[in-house]
Amino acid sequence: MISYAIRRIFFAVPTLFIALTCIFLVVRVLPGDPTAAILGDYISEEKVSILKHQLGLDRPLIVQYGEYLLNFCIGDFGYSLVTGTPVIKEIKAALPYSIELAMGGLVIGMLTGIPLGLLLAVKRNSWIDYWGRLFSLVGLSLPTFYTAVLLLLVFSIKMGWFPVLGVGEAGNFSDRMHHFILPSITLGLEMMAYLTRMTRSSMLDILNEDYVRTAHAKGLTRSVVIFKHAFKNASVPVVTVLGLYASNMIGASVLTEIIFNRPGLGTLIVGAMLKRDYITITSVLVVYSTIVVIINLITDLCYGFIDPRIRYE
């Protein structure tokens, strides 16, 4: 297992390197002048030259690229053009809220989607299966922003069960959870729908295998056959979807944070885009890319725990 983990980590490094390179090229090489976006189109050449010098854009591209990679390795993302504070400080303040929200959606999606998918597979072609598939289809069809607005309208404005905006009082756990429930459900509903359909489909394939019928013929209980034999082998595609959607959830959290007025990386990058804070935008994109690579690495490592044969391939 250790050798498999080392190989996956080894392959994750060039993936992150490619992602960082793409961000660098998009910002600096594609048509458009970052200084013009920051200062506007009707600024004197002198001010443009001063800003280019401050940002290091007047140096050769290869030098900029080397400094960019070096700064990433040492965690130096520069200073915000709007607030003047270190960007890494703003990211450290916003990142816990985004991780908290993503983890909440992940837990809700797993705890509801996987058991529901197992139930629908076992109850195939029953009324439970039909209604469950319809429910998951509705979850896939509703955009995240629409689900968020709908939940706010029903449970916050109409019923008054949950607060409309904010994250709650710092240090007050119950108040924080009260503000946390609706945003996490918003992210968890779509993930639940994906996991339900994938778990059902994967389980149906496995339940038709010969070794499952043999396990039944040996007199093993239904629960042992389903959970020990069938679900273990059906879980690899489920983990794949889980990893892919966990990465997608990082992006989906942007709209959720804005709608519920929660601090986080999404709110930070949108604010930076509105204020044309070139340094903050680049830094947040780098953090997003790093998180996605880490999630994909964890997903690959999970394969080795689920199926030992993968370690040797």
State in Å, rounded, how far the first CA of the chain is from the last one.
12
Q: Is the pLDDT of residue 311 over 60?
A: no
Report the half-sphere exposure of 162 (CA within 13 A, side-chain side).
23
CA distance 94 to 248: 18
Between residues 42 and 88, which one has the greater pLDDT?
Answer: 88
Q: Using N-to-C axis directions, what is the helix angle for 87-122 and 265-274, rounded to 10°?
A: 130
Q: Is the pLDDT of residue 312 over 50?
A: no
Contact 216, 225 (CB under 8 A): yes
Contact 203, 230 (CB under 8 A): yes
Q: Is the pLDDT of residue 94 over 60?
A: yes
Average pLDDT over residues 118-147: 80
How many C-beta atoms lie closer than 10 Å to residue 151's C-beta?
19
Structural domains of the chain in order of their starting residue, each with its CATH number: 2-74 (no CATH), 88-274 (1.10.3720.10)
CA distance 140 to 241: 14
CA distance 61 to 66: 9
What amino acid is encoded at 33 in this protein? D
Q: How far is CA 166 from CA 97, 213, 217, 270, in A?
A: 11, 53, 56, 17
Q: What angle do CA 296, 301, 304 make, to 5 degrees?
A: 140
Q: How far is CA 64 from CA 45, 60, 122, 138, 227, in A?
A: 21, 6, 58, 48, 54
pLDDT of residue 55: 67
With a threshold of 0.85, does the pTM exceed it?
no
Most confident of 88-97, 208-217, 219-228: 88-97
Closest by CA position to 75, among listed 89, 56, 55: 89
Q: What is the pLDDT of residues 24-65, one digit of tens each?
A: 777 766 555 566 666 665 666 666 677 666 666 667 778 878
